[in-house]
């Protein structure tokens, strides 16, 4: 079913307004991983809830309780549950998104203030934290709703919305909500949902749209080494005591090789090698080494073979070192021995790996390597959060609807991909609701989500809004 021309025209005609609204959303620094920013995450939930209500969505803010983060008890941001349309003759689509974002400071290397969206009309780029991950896609759905409300068009499907504020910090509390609501059957919020659509990933490159049927999972660790009761002067105590930073850096160096190989015994062995037919899938994707280099801004790929690089992103595990807490990092030269330092690292996992199996490899290994140091310092290591990997049936009618919608909007067939990132709730929806889950991305491969100078292109925001709406029309017409 082709989307009405008046809907498509409305999106084009109101592009300036939509871009301005995205700027409002980006301006709210809803960083879920920073306790000091927690009030801003609540502010973002209230803003989004208000926008949905104005567009005719019946909403409910669900209190998810509290959690402890870095030793501080904090209230969890609410889940926003919304619904519009109750026609039993129409399919019901559940839309998921998250309104929290990654940390960002201009001092990290941003060219602009990260929470002030800057629209470069010449390049079409809209720079700002959360512009592509995930505020832009959420607002794409708002654009669809506004077009139908203003034009007096009936939506082709019933819609349910589930927006959360903790995706960047493990989606705490959301799994329990989904399971408790599903247990109520048709009386629960998710009763009657036919499929799920998530727009929280990206094209492989800057030119070819895609639909995504798989995600890697994640296990995120925090490793802490402590010794003296307070920070020490290196001129007084250097080479007199075991230094926590020395121990920590040594341990971090034991985890992963420069070529990306995971050095923790047993982790790489969990994944069987790809056969010829599977490798062919990656061979056919519209992607190149140049695409990687353009996305990261430097020629630093681990291999010059496209298929090897793509498999490293989509169907192989990876271990990344993320940062060190407690160490001196300000300008100047401070000759301090830190008393306590923590290193954070994560492992992206793929089927058939599980977080428990990975944890059972990592914890004993790190403790054994620490014992080899003969250090008098103390070590603790913990799993901060995790999520399992996911793969869906890409021949489902929802995927066929997404393919037809993509061809209608972009005039080309989409790539069929698995993604390297993690959205833990995807698997929860698939298993708990027992329905197909589709990833329908809005952003491009060079958007820089989680990085400095994150952006969303104007064309992807506007054409992506058309895609989301057109997908609903294709779903409405699909034969189950």
pLDDT at 18: 98
pLDDT mean over 49-55: 98
Start and end residues for every CATH 3.30.70.360 domain found in the chain: 217-271+316-387
pLDDT at 291: 87
- State whether the Cα torsion 105-110-111-116 is positive or negative: negative
Residue 417 CB contacts under 8 Å (≥ 6 apart), including other chains:
204, 210, 211, 212, 213, 214, 285, 314
- Please state, rounded to an integer, the average pLDDT across all residues of the chain: 96
pLDDT at 392: 93
Is 5-216+389-477 CATH 3.40.630.10? yes
pLDDT at 267: 98
Question: Is pLDDT above 80 for 2?
Answer: no
Between 276 and 158, where is the model more confident?
A: 158
What confidence tens digit (pLDDT) does each residue in 332-380 have? 999 999 999 999 999 999 999 999 999 999 999 999 999 999 999 999 9
Three-state secondary structure of the chain: CCCCHHHHHHHHHCHHHHHHHHHHHHCCCCECCCHHHHHHHHHHHHHHHHHHHHCCCEEEEECCCEEEECCEEEECCCEEEEEECCCCCCCEEEEEEECCECCCCHHHCCCCCCCCCEEECCCCEEECCCCCCCHHHHHHHHHHHHHHHHHCCCCCCEEEEEEECCHHHCCCCHHHHHHHHHCCHHHCCCCCCCEEEECCCECCCCCCCEEEEEECEEEEEEEEEECCCCCEEHHHHCCCCCCHHHHHHHHHHCCECCCCCECCCCCHHHCCCCCHHHHHHHHHCCCCHHHHHHHHCCCCCCCCCHHHHHHHHHCCCEEEEEEEECCCCCCCCCCEECCEEEEEEEEEECCCCCHHHHHHHHHHHHHHHHHHCCCCCEEEEEEEEEECCEECCCCCHHHHHHHHHHHHHHCCCCEEEEECCCCCHHHHHHHHHCCEEEECCCECCCCCCCCCCCEEEHHHHHHHHHHHHHHHHHHHHCCC
What confidence tens digit (pLDDT) does each residue in 238-252 have? 999 999 999 999 999
pTM: 0.82
Start and end residues for every CATH 3.40.630.10 domain found in the chain: 5-216+389-477
pLDDT at 295: 77
Question: Is pLDDT above 80 for 422?
Answer: no
CATH classification (class only), 217-271+316-387: alpha beta
Q: Write out the catalytic residue numbers.
A: 100, 167
pLDDT mean over 43-56: 98
């Amino acid at each position: 079913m082709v989307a009405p021309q008046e809907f498509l025209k409305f999106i084009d005609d109101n592009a300036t307004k939509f871009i301005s609204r995205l700027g409002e959303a980006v301006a709210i620094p809803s960083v879920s991983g920073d306790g000091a920013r927690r009030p801003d995450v609540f502010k973002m939930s209230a803003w989004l809830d208000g926008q949905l209500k104005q567009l005719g969505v019946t909403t409910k803010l669900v209190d998810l309780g509290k959690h402890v983060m870095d030793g501080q008890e904090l209230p969890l941001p609410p889940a926003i549950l919304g619904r519009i349309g109750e026609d039993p003759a129409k399919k019901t689509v559940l839309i998921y998104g998250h309104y929290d974002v990654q940390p960002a400071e201009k001092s990290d290397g941003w060219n602009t203030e990260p929470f002030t969206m800057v629209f470069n009309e010449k390049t079409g780029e809209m720079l700002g934290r959360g512009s592509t991950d995930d505020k832009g896609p959420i607002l794409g759905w708002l654009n669809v709703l506004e077009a139908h409300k203003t034009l007096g068009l009936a939506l082709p499907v019933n819609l349910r919305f589930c927006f959360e504020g903790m995706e960047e910090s493990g989606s705490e509390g959301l799994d329990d909500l989904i399971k408790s609501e599903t247990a109520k059957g048709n009386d629960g919020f998710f009763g009657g949902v036919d499929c799920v659509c998530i727009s929280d990933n990206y094209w492989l490159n800057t030119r070819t749209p895609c639909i995504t049927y798989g995600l890697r999972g994640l296990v995120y660790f925090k490793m802490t080494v402590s010794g003296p009761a307070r920070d020490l002067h290196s001129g007084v105590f250097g080479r007199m005591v075991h230094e926590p930073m020395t121990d920590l850096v040594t341990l971090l160096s034991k985890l992963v090789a420069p070529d990306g190989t995971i050095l923790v015994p047993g982790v790489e062995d969990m994944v069987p090698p790809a056969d010829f037919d599977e490798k062919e899938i990656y061979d056919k994707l519209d992607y190149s080494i140049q695409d990687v280099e353009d996305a990261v801004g430097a020629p630093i790929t681990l291999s010059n073979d496209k298929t090897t690089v793509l498999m490293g992103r989509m169907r192989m595990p990876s271990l990344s070192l993320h940062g060190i807490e407690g160490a001196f990092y300000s300008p100047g030269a401070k000759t301090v021995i830190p008393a306590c330092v923590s290193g954070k690292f994560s492992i992206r996992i793929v089927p058939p790996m599980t977080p428990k199996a990975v944890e059972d490899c990592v914890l004993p290994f790190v403790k054994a390597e620490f014992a080899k140091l003969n250090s008098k310092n103390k070590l603790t290591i913990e799993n901060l959060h995790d999520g399992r990997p996911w793969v869906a049936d890409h021949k489902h009618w929802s995927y066929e609807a997404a393919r037809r919608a993509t061809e209608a909007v972009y005039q080309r067939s989409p790539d069929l991909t698995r993604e390297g990132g993690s959205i833990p709730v995807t698997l929860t929806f698939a298993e708990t609701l027992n329905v197909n889950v589709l990833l329908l991305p809005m952003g491009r491969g060079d958007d820089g989500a989680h990085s400095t100078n994150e952006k969303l292109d104007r064309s992807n925001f506007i054409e992506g809004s058309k895609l989301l709406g057109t997908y609903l029309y294709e779903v409405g017409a699909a034969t189950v």
